[in-house]
A and B are shown apart, each in its own frame.
Chain A
Amino acid sequence: MTVPVLSVRNLEVEFLTRRSTLRAINGVSFDIAKGEVLGVVGESGAGKSVTGLAVIGLIDPPGRIASGEIYLSGTRIDHLPPEEIRRIRGKRIGMIFQDPLTSLNPLYRIGDQIVETIRTHMNLSETAARKRAIDLLAEVGIPAPEKRIDAYPHEFSGGMRQRVVIALAICAEPELIIADEPTTALDVSVQAQIISLIKRLGRDHGTAVMLVTHDMGVIAETSDRVAVMYSGRIAEIGPVQDVVQNPLHPYAKGLMGAIPTLAGEDKRLVQIPGSMPRLSAIPPGCSFNPRCAFAFDRCRVDRPEPLKHGSHAVACHLFDTAPGEAAKETAA
């Protein structure tokens, strides 16, 4: 098997506060292969964005990576000195943020921002970099790029600005793109265009994509695999079709049940009772147990680890085959 582009092993991210240490990410592991799109879903505060920031090395104090390893194409990158991780950012890992309206520096022409990024990472002359910038703008679907390159960010619409942001993220041919809620700030018609753009770029360049979102529709459309996160841990991870159609983890079930279908069956959408625990008050055992309809004694004591179950991996005691009664309970 080839080496995955991104490999995260037992990642833990902590935030030191005056009173205590909050653990935002608690033992997350996953891989993304070349050309693969991994969707990461979860409620706000589940640790999706923090995982992305940890990979690219942008966790600022008081936050820090407490333990675990991050490998980019087989090289460990989580403990590199700042200057070396800086060289990886933008060159080998591109990042797209949520709000295109605020991601671009308002005082610089977009061309200058792209050329600056290209020349930081590639040994190109000003003219060659500018030519490349025009090609990139054309590739992300900006009309008349040779003219628009000299425009300022405020002269673009939100969707066009997100295209510019994407051009900036891919300008040095990265192996991995981390897209942190790239469509949340856009309106629905533009969302679809941006999603298909990211998908196309990933396919054309063989780039691996980590797509962070809370929109299951986006995941279903784009991703090859999906990871469902809950309070700093991966609850379930597997191929997108399997997870969407046949979720195993009670939380994942709840999430999928909350998606309205176009088929129009007159069923009430399922709601997960309660809300995610705060980082300062994560219950012992499985962090989902207070909201889980299937919780039993072990869930309140023992923290479940992700275990292989068919094509999925799921962190739930219901699928731990050792106590047979639990498995029976779900079958019923």
Chain B
Amino acid sequence: MLAFTLRRAIQAIGVMIAVGVIAFSMFRFAGDPVNQIVSLDTPAAEREAVRKSLGLDDPVPVQFARYFGNAVQFKFGVSYQFRQPVSNLLMERMPATLELAACATVLAMVFGILMGVYSALRRDTILTKFFQAVSLIGISLPTFLIGILLIYLFSVTLGWLPSFGRGDVVRIGWWTTGLLTLSGLKALIMPSITLGLFQMTLIMRLVRAEMLEVLRTDYIRFARARGLTTRAIHFGHALKNTLVPVITVAGLQFGSVIAFAIITETVFQWPGMGLLFVQAVQNVDIPIMAAYLLMVSLIFVTINLVVDILYTIVDPRLRSTISRPA
């Protein structure tokens, strides 16, 4: 088990180095960074001075080693547009994105699993058909359109919910949270739904398909032959077996939720990392883009690792195949 975790951790580090190379190469291929910093009429000598002070005249491998060494310590350089350390900017924006992503994922998991289980157990009811229709909408409508429709309905027409921003936030250490104020919670509703809808429909369809599959298995038939109650069979035996693939998908989707928060954050002007990234792209602010790339991949890699470990907790068969070297 420990060897397995270690092996996976080493693989994860390999992935991060590869991403580091890509992030670093953005600096080389997206134009001369000096041009972004200095103004048009800066003399050549001064440009060289800037280049030297930033270490941009060193050989490429040296620059990469320096960049990666700094990145490991969460130093990503200085933003061209804000003239502030990128790590400060990211730290400041991260709570907003993480809160939004967590809220969207919880929403997606809870409703996705409930709807999935219901529609698998009661296949021909009107409610099931309604869930199916909702899931079709969730899968096929683009995120930004859902966001705009929600804003039109609840902010413009009904005036119940704010159309942009995070509302009032409370600062706890370096973390800012919108979960403790009424306006913060109200502001969280629509972005969470917008961001979570796709994941919810995905989880619902997955749970439904898996549940139908599991209900056909021999051990469910044997559980019925043992006279267990319907509730024990559906929610004890069937649901637990259904959750193995759901954990994978939901876990991996959490990464995409953070990555795709860009669109939702733009629609709702949510002050998170995604919005920062979009602004950085508009201004060719490469340090931010590179740092964002590294952050998102770090989150993905971490989640992958956690999912792999969670797997072995849920499914005992994996535990023994892992501890026994193949």
Contacts and interface: CB of A to CB of B under 8 A. Distances in A.
B240 A117 contact: no
Interface string B250-270: 000000000000000000000
Contacts of A105: 219, 223, 237, 241
A154 B232 contact: no
A131 to B, nearest CB: 19
A168 B223 CA distance: 10
Interface string B219-262: 10111111111101000110011001000000000000000000
A155 B219 contact: no
B228 A152 contact: no
Nearest to B230: A86
B232 A97 contact: no
Interface string A90-109: 11001101010011111110
B226 A56 contact: no
A102 B315 contact: no
B218 interface: yes
A106 B317 contact: yes
B314 interface: yes
Nearest to A102: B218
Interface string B302-326: 0000000000001111001000000
Nearest to B244: A107
Contacts of A120: 226-229, 232
A89 B219 contact: no
A103 B222 contact: yes
Give the dominant DSSP class at B's interface: helix
Contacts of A58: 221, 224-225
Nearest to B241: A107
A106 B315 CA distance: 8
A261 B84 CA distance: 92
Interface string A63-106: 00000000000000000000000111111001101010011111
B316 A106 contact: yes
Interface residues of A, number: 30
A89 B223 CA distance: 10
B228 to A, nearest CB: 6
Given A120-B232, A165-B222, A152 B317 contact: yes
A90 B228 contact: yes
Given A107-B240, A120-B232, A154 B320 contact: yes
A89 B217 contact: no
A94, A108, A121 pick with most chain B CB within 10 angstroms: A108
Contacts of B232: 116, 120
A56 B241 CA distance: 25
A99 B221 CA distance: 12
A155 B229 CA distance: 27
A58 B225 CA distance: 7
A91 B227 CA distance: 7
B75 to A, nearest CB: 45
A106 B227 CA distance: 19
Contacts of B217: 102
A104 B317 CA distance: 13
Interface in B199-227: 217-219, 221-227
29 contacts: A56-B225, A58-B224, A58-B225, A86-B224, A86-B227, A87-B227, A89-B224, A89-B227, A90-B225, A90-B226, A91-B227, A95-B222, A97-B221, A97-B222, A102-B218, A104-B219, A105-B219, A106-B241, A106-B316, A107-B241, A108-B240, A116-B236, A117-B228, A120-B228, A165-B222, A168-B222, A169-B225, A169-B226, A172-B227
